[in-house]
Amino acid sequence: MALPKAEDVLVAPNFGLQIDGVMVEYLNSVSGLQVEQDVIKYQQNQGATGRNNVTLMPGVAKDGQVNVERGASQSAAFTQWINDSLNGRMATARKNATIIVMDYEDNPVKRWNLRNAWCSKIVMGTLKAGDTSPLTETVTIVFEELVVE
């Protein structure tokens, strides 16, 4: 995965979701993707002067969640994953998922790997008589660990 030159920023003309290494869905939007960890603050007195020294160290990584929006009638595999999650079938619902950003030639340029991910919420887009807008679903995916590649 080659990144553009350092002065160029990534653009996201195309992005999708893999579940257990298989591309199951191209997405309309992704929001709220973040990784966070606790910060440990360690204070001690140093040497004969007793000068206070503060050291900050990385602590435990936190879990998280991300919202993805997709077309409502797309991937059967993604729909099954949602149903397994919402029906409490955690043996099949916990999956390793990856959000992939691709360049204009559909080459992957950035990956966010979500370990032990499952769907905790689904929100259907607005249904309106006579509307010609595409119907979408927003799915909240929770995960235990996020690894950025």
Domains of the chain: 14-36+62-148 (2.30.110.20)
- pLDDT of amino acid 4: 57
Per-residue pLDDT band for 5 (boundaries 50, 70, 90) equals low
The model's pTM = 0.82
Give the ranges where the chain is alpha helix by DSSP (H): 76-86, 90-93
pLDDT digits (tens, 9 = 90+) for 82-127: 999 999 999 999 999 999 998 888 888 899 999 999 999 999 998 8
Residue 41 and residue 125: Cα distance in Å, rounded?
Answer: 44
Give the rounded distance of the alpha carbon of 116 from its chain centre. Answer: 11
- Taking residue 83's Cβ as centre, other Cβ atoms within 10 Å add up to 14
Give the rounded distance of the alpha carbon of 101 from its chain centre. Answer: 11
**pLDDT over threshold 70, residue 47:** yes
